[in-house]
Structures are given as structure tokens and as C-alpha cells.
Amino acid sequence: MAKKVAVLLSGCGVYDGSEIYEAVLTLLRLDQSGAEYQCIAPNDEMMHVINHATGEEMSESRNMLVEAARLARGNVQDLAEAKQESFDALILPGGFGAAKNLCDFAVKGSEMSVRPDVLSFVRSFHQAEKPVGLMCIAPVMMPVIFGKGVKCTIGTDPDVADEIRTMGGDHQDRGVDDVCIDPVNKLVSTPAYMLATGMHEASKGIFTLVDEILSMIKK
């Protein structure tokens, strides 16, 4: 039986949703590895909408689930209906949506909170001893979700690393092609586009993260 992985998205687009290349590279590696995947997103409004051509905020609202459907070719599940029991592992791509929509780190820094439905869903994998992978900026949520002392990386940004340490996380500097593994908690993180200058660079760490997550699944 194929391993099945949930991929939690936060919209579509690096500045206000999920980072598209990170999401696609994750899905590509899962497919190459013979794993099944299901994209999931909260059915709620995004924090704001950014014009990706200009970088300016737009006077409109968009829905995370609807936008995530662009990445998933329509096959996206409402987070409210998703059950941890249906999956073997969970992966969270980055993009500013992870820091704006799944939590409020972009606004509150180390005083952040995670959306209750996201917190409950991600934490349920940890409680079931199932592996979880997070990339780019998404690992800022790890101390809040998994507890103090959790090992993680967002790369080498000293300011973000300090915020993670303030929240009780054990941040480890890693290169774009590397991952940070917390074997006790079955967690894997990688910098991805926190450091990557192109897809080829980003793919190295992302592919390794996916491989490590799949290797941790009990079958």
C-alpha cells in the first residue's frame, strides 16, 4: 500500500500564500517516490492579497482553499474535513502565507499564535507519532506546536533564528541543500527559499526533506 502524505497549503503565491515552487517540488518528489498525497487548506480568508507583479497590497480578499486549489489542480480538501488518521505524514511548504495565514508570525514575531485548526491538525500527527516536515518560514511555528526544545531550521537568518529561540526552539543553522532532523519528535525542516536563489537549489533540501519524511513512516 502506498504511503499517503497530507500537504498543508495556505493559498497560492509566495507573498501571501504558499510558495508555488516549494509546493510543486514537494508534490513532485512525493510522486517520484510512489507516495500518494492530498493537498489541504483552511477554508478561510487570507490575511491580505499581494499583487505579485508589483509587490503592492490589493484591495480585495481571497480564500485560502480556493487559491490552494490552483496549486492542487482542483484536488484540495477543506482542513475542517481532514483527518490525521487518513494519512501517514504531513508536510507544510513555506511562503509568506505560512507566516500570515496559518499563524501570525509576520505580524507578531515571537508573540505569535497558530490558527487553532492548524494547531490541532498538525499537533495530531505529532501525538500519533507520525512525521511532519516544514520548510522555508513554516518552521517558526514549531516551538508553539511541538513544544520547547524542538530542533528546527529556517536557514541562517539571525533575526528569525533569534525569534525561534525566544519561543523556546533549538534553531540550527543549515544550508539550502541540507535539512535539520529532530529524530525524537520525527520532525524535518529545511530552508528552501529562505536561502534558495532558484528551483535547482531549493529542490535539493526539499527532496531530502521528503525522502526523510517517507523513511520515518511506519509500515
Q: Are 60 and 51 in contact (CB under 8 A)?
A: no
Mean pLDDT along residues 141-161: 97
Which pLDDT belongs to residue 142? 98
CATH number at residue 28: 3.40.50.880
Mean pLDDT along residues 186-209: 97
Count the alpha carbons within 13 Å of 10 in the hemisphere toward its beta carbon.
Answer: 33
61-76: per-residue pLDDT in tens?
Answer: 999 999 999 999 999 9
The contacts of residue 185 (CB under 8 Å, 6+ apart) are 126, 146, 150, 151
Write down the catalytic residue from 12, 39, 103, 136: 136
The CA distances from residue 45 to 48, 199, 201, in Å, are: 8, 28, 32
The CA distances from residue 109 to 3, 19, 104, 146, 185, in Å, are: 35, 20, 8, 17, 24
pTM, whole model, 2 decimals?
0.97
Here the cell at position 189 is 525542516
34-48: per-residue pLDDT in tens?
Answer: 999 999 999 999 989
Give the domain extent around 64. 4-216
Mean pLDDT along residues 10-21: 95
pLDDT of residue 219 exceeding 80: no
136 catalytically annotated = yes
Quote the number of domains for the chain: 1
Which pLDDT belongs to residue 141? 98
**Which residue type sits at 25?**
L
